[in-house]
Amino acid sequence: MNSSVGRFNKVRIQKTGSVLDIDAEATSFPGQVIGTRTSRSQREGWAIVLGLAVVLCIIFGTTLNSISVFTLPITSAFQCSNEQASRVATAFMFTMTLAMPLAGWLLDRVSPRPVMTVGALIAALGYLLASQSADIDQLTFAIAVSGIGVGTSTYVPAITIATRWIAFDRQGLAFGILLAGSSTGAVIFPMLLTDIIAVIGWRNTMQVVAGIIGLLCIPILLWAARTPESQSIANHQLATQLEGHGICQAMRMPRYWLWIAMQLLLLLSSIGVFIALVPYLVSTGYSAEHAAAFLAGTAVAALIGNFAFGMLSDRWGAKAILLIGTVFGVAGIFFLLAASDPVLGVGAITLFSLIWGSTFNLVNQFAPLLLVEAVGQRNFGSLLGIGNLIAGMGSAFSPTAVGYLVDVTHTYTVALLLCAALAVAALIPIALQRSTSS
């Protein structure tokens, strides 16, 4: 980072032969682009970010973060195996992962409003269809349809819109607000939907989810899913030649694949634990409500962990923090395995919620920082997307693997031990990460 960081200038934008005078701040960053934002557009931009945070809270909260609370009712209703029930979550995450890069591609070509509103409509329609399913296969297909809608209406488009409204030096805060919205949904909705399932059943609860998304999220997106009327030159012009590797060059680098392996192993581990948590706790004697409360507790801990480890990383670096966080996460899984102990039970689960909950999401926070250290800024977005797609598609099979192991062993212990082993294995590619200057 050189002395050009934080330099502010007046800019004039040439467009179709006319000159648009914009009294705005233009912040230039090495290896980045020059962005212009007026004070008025900044205020409007922050309002849009808050609106999108509400959308992420609701859509992620009612779908991805709560999908495990439907596992036991679905298993009971269709008399299916744990593996079959787990395929529902696998199908959802698989289609959601595929839809995210599709959303990014569409946003380069059309307005975000139709992309996100149609996506939210598809997400709601998927849950509505799922509520009418006659068998587990129909249910899996319907939830997979919903995954497409969730992928095109949440994270990638919301982040993209934020970058077009918010000045570069404030985008970190904007992303934090969006992710806080998602984490808040993980606190609220698992417990809420568990209570609703107990009262009106899982089918009616899925209809409630569809109604919430349709009645609350779509109106917000019709207003918030938009870009500034006068696009910033940040989206069209490079200030300087970006440093780093080309896509083909980076994909021939062993450390890029080590970075992907790191993500894949950690996501396989965390998704496996996340999906198994509620049914595992119920199998050890806890009520569904108490299990959902511990699930919500991990989301609260994740909020705390993102801020705490983020501040520590300024001093210790992303690699060291991710190594420490992964070790803590493994310890948390071992605490979870003591859930059935009559003496340690509640205390062990509480420690799991705090320790594992505060560390399981660190890979999403620090993987981009490790990538830019490894390959530089040039083609960073493309390389990040490729890596996330590979890791995301691979990790989508984690719920099915957990369900299979539970069916074969008739216990969650083996599956959770495997999740711990995957996290331990991830320590190797994390330790081998290094910057381009090293």
Domain 245-438 class, CATH top level: mainly alpha
Question: pLDDT: is 418 or 342 the higher one?
Answer: 418
- Say what the pLDDT of residue 1 is: 41
- pLDDT exceeds 70 at position 22: no
Token representation of residue 245: 């590797």
Residue 9 near residue 233, CB atoms below 8 Å = no
Question: Going by C-beta distance under 8 Å and a sequence separation of 6 or more, which residues neighbour residue 161?
Answer: 48, 52, 112, 224, 225, 226, 227
pLDDT confidence of 210, banded at 50, 70, 90?
A: very high
How many percent of the chain have pLDDT more than 70? Answer: 80
Give me the amino acid identity at 30.
P
CATH architecture, domain 39-226 = Up-down Bundle (1.20)
pLDDT tens-digit series, residues 87-143 = 898 899 889 988 887 887 787 678 889 999 999 999 999 999 999 999 999 999 999
Q: Which residue has the tokens 């439907």?
A: 70
**Which residue did the predictor score with more confidence, 33 or 402?**
402
Q: How many CB atoms lie within 10 A of CB 113?
A: 17
Q: Where are the alpha helices (DSSP H) in 136-240?
A: 136-153, 155-165, 171-212, 218-224
Task: Say what the pLDDT of residue 176 is.
Answer: 65
Residue 110: predicted pLDDT: 83
Identify the residue with better confidence: 426 or 438.
426
Q: Is the pLDDT at 356 greater than 90, yes or no?
A: yes
Give residue-wise pLDDT tens across range 147-162: 999 999 998 788 778 7
DSSP output for 181-207? HHHHHHHHHHHHHHHHHHHHHHHHHHH
Reported confidence tier of residue 35, pLDDT bands at 50, 70, 90:
very low
CA distance 164 to 229: 11
Burial of 364 (0-12, 13-18, 19+ CB in 10 A): middle
CA distances in angstroms from 394 to 149, 263, 266, listed in the order given: 20, 10, 11
What Rg do the C-alpha atoms of the chain give, in angstroms?
22
Alpha-carbon distance 322 to 361, whole Å? 10
State CA 204 to chain mean position distance. Answer: 27
Q: Which of 30, 433, 378, 401 is nearest to 263 (CA)?
A: 433
pTM here is 0.68
Residue 4, pLDDT above cutoff 50: no
Q: What are phi and psi of 294, to 5 degrees?
A: -65, -35
Phi, psi of 28 (to 5 degrees): -105, 140
Q: Is the pLDDT of residue 295 over 60?
A: yes
Of these ranges, 32-36, 176-180, 343-347, the one predicted with the greatest mean pLDDT is 343-347
Q: Where in the chain is the domain with CATH 1.20.1250.20?
A: 39-226, 245-438
